[in-house]
Amino acid sequence: MIKKLLFTILTLATINLSAQTETVTIDWSFGSNSDVMPATAAMNTDRTIEVGDTVVWNYYATGTHTVTSEAGSTEAWDSGLIASGTGVTYSKTFTAVGTNAYVCTPHNGNMYGTITVVADGILSAPQFDVPTKFSIFPNPSSDVMNINIPMLTDEGLKLEIFNVLGKKVYTQQLSKLSSSVNIAKWNSGLYLVRLTSPDQDITLTKRFVKL
């Protein structure tokens, strides 16, 4: 067990020491700017990246454009005029934490954006925001069981309810933070309410009394 634990710690340390860089792409043409919705659209020109990551501007449509940093940006660059065409791109690797506003100089009224650079590891840090508790109310109850969860995993949680004999009497996949179960026709007594994640990494259990 100790050897396995040491191996896990060393593995995690190795992963943390091996910085990984990413490449993000922005579609660059008339109308590419910070106001494009949704914010995840390829033509939305705002990105948050880590130090060492590369941004590629894809000249996917028509026109001759630049990608030029504005005054006050953390890093300064200028692509010069580049004519659009299939496979035509301009790329820059960012090396300093900061904010970088940029424009197409001939079309700065409708082609502009901001690249925000954060420290290496900030965006890729593992997230441990998983539910560690949940609430049932009212408890006891005679007609309804309300279940509240402070947060959900990406895959959701499975709700299972067992009677005092261990027989499963109810099951449901939870995809929202608040759920209600009609228990009016259930027998009175003690029940065990269990929430589990698909990989079984999360198991939460509470007792519930049906009046």
Residue by residue, DSSP assigns 121-153 as: TTTTSPP-------EEESSSBSSEEEEE-S---
Q: What pLDDT band is residue 135 in, cutting at 50, 70 and 90?
A: confident
Domain 21-118 -> CATH class: mainly beta
pLDDT in tens, 174-195: 888 888 999 999 999 999 998 8
- Which range of 120-134, 141-155, 166-180 scores highest in mean pLDDT? It is 166-180
3-state SS assignment for residue 45 = coil
Delimit the domains of the chain by residue range.
21-118, 135-210
Mean model confidence pLDDT for the chain: 83
Q: Are 211 and 142 in contact (CB under 8 A)?
A: yes
Task: Tell me whether the omega of the peptide bond preceding residue 106 falls within 30 degrees of 0, making it cis.
Answer: no
Average pLDDT over residues 67-78: 94
pLDDT in tens, 89-106: 999 999 998 889 999 999
**135-138, Cβ contacts within 8 angstroms, sequence gap of 24 or more:** 136/193, 136/206, 136/208
> Residue 156 — left, alpha, or beta (φ > 0 → left; ψ -120 to 50 → alpha)?
left
Has residue 158 got a pLDDT over 70?
yes
Which CATH entry fits the domain spanning 135-210: 3.40.50.10710, 2.40.10.220, 2.60.40.3080, 2.40.110.10? 2.60.40.3080
**pTM passes above 0.75:** no
Has residue 200 got a pLDDT over 80?
no
44 pairs with which residues across the strands?
33
Q: What pLDDT band is residue 1 in, cutting at 50, 70 and 90?
A: very low
